[in-house]
A = this chain, B = another copy of it.
Amino acid sequence: MITVSADVLSAQLNSVFRAWGFSQEHGETCAAVMVDTDLRGIDSHGVGMLSAYEEWWRDGKINATPDIRVVRDQPGLCAIDADHSLGHPPAVLAMELAMAKARGHGVGVAVVGRSNHYGAAGYYAHMAAEQGLIGIAMSSTPAPLMVPTFGKQPRLGSNPIAFAAPAQNNKPIVVDMATTTVAYGKVTIARRAGKNLPAGWALDEEGRTLTDSERAAALRAITPLGGERDLGSHKGYGLAVMVEVLSSVLSGALLSGHVPATGEMAEKTDIGHFFMALDPQAARGSRQAYGIDMDHLVALLRTTPPIDPAQPVLVPGDPENEAMAQRREKGIPMVPALVAEVREVAQRSGVPQLF
């Protein structure tokens, strides 16, 4: 395990993106989002994605020089064509446009089509919270993963929902979750560790629970949040449908990798994203009245009597804030396999290895 500073990691990532033909601005944006995600401890969605991005770029699924355009614009809502860009630059643009609309109208929405993986949804929701706004970000994903309740084949993606809301004296509340019981990354982590999965995460070809992590990683069939019907899996499924409508159908993207008209898997990648910003001042009349009540909500949750005094009740965003404090000071820890992966990408891309 080595640790790498945010600055060095950012420079390494940007040099790779530049070598692939990204503009300086796009390279910096992708690097900034990825490093922030690593600083927050969401290791599955930062630099850990680099080799996947390389593969998609080599396969022509990522356009290094996209013409990202606003194709429809109303006072409260706009639609963006990402032209097969890697997702981070159009996502940052979309959230900025949603925020500008929210400042003028109370609420703003931006949808993005023909996009790619954009990292962690929470980053974009958090952008709004940093500006005193409430942010929501959702996304469809390139391939199916979630098996609908009563079904035995995946049809929807992990379809994440992120929500961020600023407070007055507390850090923003940040929710960032797949609508599957677990993200696929949790299955691969168990497989690498040679561990079984808890019952309720993954399914076999007949829709029965599957604890063998090796098979589960190969089958890619994860339950909706809730796990099984009796425990509310139809709710996780319903949330994923909501995310699919708002991200894919509203932007005209594929349906978690399926061509809408045929239901067949598409060759190309065409992910949709949904972004929303809300201005608390428009609703409450005063930013302070809102912020103080947010602090009260944080206090109410934090003072919940815990089952185990050693594990207090958390407020959504706490683990990420703790990771951020540690990693800003000590650097981002990277396991040897990840270091090797990044070094190989750098080598193949013809740029110096910075760590």
Find the B residue at minimum CB distance from A316.
B238
A161: B residues at CB distance < 8 A: 239
A354 contacts partner chain B, Cβ-Cβ < 8 Å: no
List 28 contacting pairs A-B, 8 Å CB cutoff, sorted by A: A75-B76, A75-B106, A76-B76, A76-B108, A76-B282, A77-B106, A77-B283, A79-B283, A79-B284, A105-B105, A107-B276, A149-B313, A150-B308, A150-B314, A152-B307, A161-B239, A177-B232, A177-B234, A181-B226, A181-B231, A225-B232, A226-B226, A245-B297, A249-B294, A250-B278, A252-B284, A252-B293, A263-B299
> What CA separation (Å) do A312 and B101 show in the bound complex?
43
CB distance from A211 to the nearest CB of B (A): 12
Q: Is residue A217 within 8 Å, beta carbon to beta carbon, of the partner chain?
A: no
Measured CB to CB, the nearest residue on chain B to A244 is B297
Q: Given A72-B283, A150-B313, A198-B231, verify A249-B106 contact (CB < 8 Å).
A: no
Flag A171-206 by CB within 8 Å of B: 1 or 0 each.
Answer: 001010111011000000000000000101100001
**A77 (CB) vs chain B CBs: closest residue:** B106
Q: Contacts of A155 on B, CB cut-off 8 Å?
A: 300-301, 304
Chain B residues with CB under 8 Å of A169's CB are none
Q: Are B285 and A249 neighbours in the complex by a CB distance under 8 Å?
A: no
Minimal Cβ-Cβ distance residue in B for A181: B232
Contact of A11 with B by CB under 8 A? no
Q: Is B72 a contact partner of A285 (Cβ separation < 8 A)? A: yes
Which 4 A/B pairs are nearest by Cβ-Cβ distance?
A77-B106, A76-B105, A175-B238, A151-B304
CB proximity to B under 8 Å, residues A239-264: 239, 241-242, 244-246, 248-252, 255, 258, 260-261, 263
Would you give the shortest CB distance from A273 to chain B, in whole angstroms? Answer: 12
Identical copies of this chain, number: 2
Query: Using a CB-CB cutoff of 8 Å, which residues 302-346 of chain A contact chain B?
Result: 303-308, 311-316
Of chain B, the residue at the smallest CB distance from A183 is B232
Question: Is the beta-carbon distance between B165 and A245 smaller than 8 angstroms?
Answer: yes
A305 & B232 in contact (Cβ 8 Å cutoff) = no
Instruction: Report the count of interface residues on A (CB-CB < 8 A).
Output: 99
Give the CA-CA distance A235 to B315 in the complex, in Å: 11
- Please measure, in the bound complex, the distance between the C-alpha atom of A297 and the C-alpha atom of B144, giving whole angstroms: 13
Q: Closest chain B residue to A156 by CB distance?
A: B301
Cβ–Cβ contact B226 & A175, under 8 A: no
What distance in Å separates the Cβ of A250 from its nearest Cβ neighbour in chain B? Answer: 4
Residues of B within 8 A of A294 (CB): 245, 249
Chain B contacts of A198 at CB under 8 A? 230-231
A46: Cβ under 8 A from any B Cβ: no
CB nearest to A311 among chain B residues: B150
A153 within 8 A of B: yes
Do B182 and A232 touch across chains, with their CB atoms under 8 A apart? yes
| A6 contacts the other chain (CB 8 A) | no
CB distance from A301 to the nearest CB of B (A): 6
Pairwise interchain contact B307-A242, C-beta atoms closer than 8 A: no
